[in-house]
Amino acid sequence: MATTSEEVWRILGELAEAQKETERQLRETDEILKQRFQETEQRFQETDQMLKQRFQETERLMRRQNQQFNEQLGKLGNRLGEFVEWQVRPVVVRLFQERGIAVHEFYPGASAQRDGEGIEIDLLVVNSTEAILVEVKSKLTQTDVDEHLERLSKFKRLMPRYGDVRAMGAVAAMVVPDDVARYAYRQGLFVMAQSGDSVVILNDATFQPRRW
């Protein structure tokens, strides 16, 4: 049968309606996708913000814990240093006398301030002609040795009453690494360390102390 013009127009109308329906469905689908995308993006932003807040909270907590740990560690180090000092005190005069240095007095915690500079000495061991500045640590480091050398260099200037004595230096610690002990020895310092329940001078009999 031949297709009439009316049928052609009807078919074209149906196709147009079908196309409109398809376009409508596509618009609806696009709107749904946009809405879903916006919801997903919002959730990502909320999650990102939540993660940032938790990270910041964790970071603050870690900083606070590290600060508390460092404070406790510092207190422990100070207590260990005090423990070593109390071990050194009863024997320090005898140990240097056995090395032929006739000291007979010691002063813990000697300090002085002069012309904007300061000096603190854990143990000052003296007689009328000699003085030994003893620095006490829980664990001795090369930095401790260098700082004590600097302390010795300004000792007589900041404490002029000892200007005529022969000043010497010593370092004492519960833990003295071998390389640090050798370094202090080469710098002319006595090295004192814990041995059992007592304290000994590690320098050999040929050691000649540096004098300031």
- Please state, in angstroms and rounded to a whole number, the distance separating the CA atoms of residues 71 and 65: 10
Query: Helix or strand or coil: residue 85?
Result: helix
Assess whether pLDDT exceeds 50 at residue 169. yes
Q: For the chain, how many structural domains are there in total?
A: 1
DSSP, res 116: T
Predicted pLDDT at 84: 58
Give residue 194's domain range.
Answer: 84-201
Structural domain includes residue 179: yes
Structural domain includes residue 1: no
Whichever domain contains 181, its CATH number is 3.40.1350.10
Which residue has tokens 């360390």? 193
pLDDT bin (cut points 50, 70, 90) of residue 177 is very high
Structural domain includes residue 101: yes
Which residue has tokens 């540096």? 210
| Integer CA distances (angstroms), 112 to 27, 57, 129, 144, in order | 87, 45, 20, 19
Query: Helix or strand or coil: residue 159?
Result: coil
Structural domain includes residue 109: yes
Structural domain includes residue 26: no
pLDDT bin (cut points 50, 70, 90) of residue 72 is low
Query: Quick one: which H or E segment has residue 125?
Result: strand 117-126
Residues 6+ apart with CB under 8 A from 184: 140, 145, 171, 191
Predicted pLDDT at 122: 92
- Please state, in angstroms and rounded to a whole number, the distance separating the CA atoms of residues 167 and 156: 8
Structural domain includes residue 139: yes
pTM of the model: 0.63
- Please state, in angstroms and rounded to a whole number, the distance separating the CA atoms of residues 126 and 199: 19
> % helix / strand / coil in the chain, to the nearest 5?
60, 25, 20
Structural domain includes residue 7: no
**117: which strand partners?**
114
The residue ranking higher by pLDDT, 207 or 14, is: 207
Structural domain includes residue 113: yes
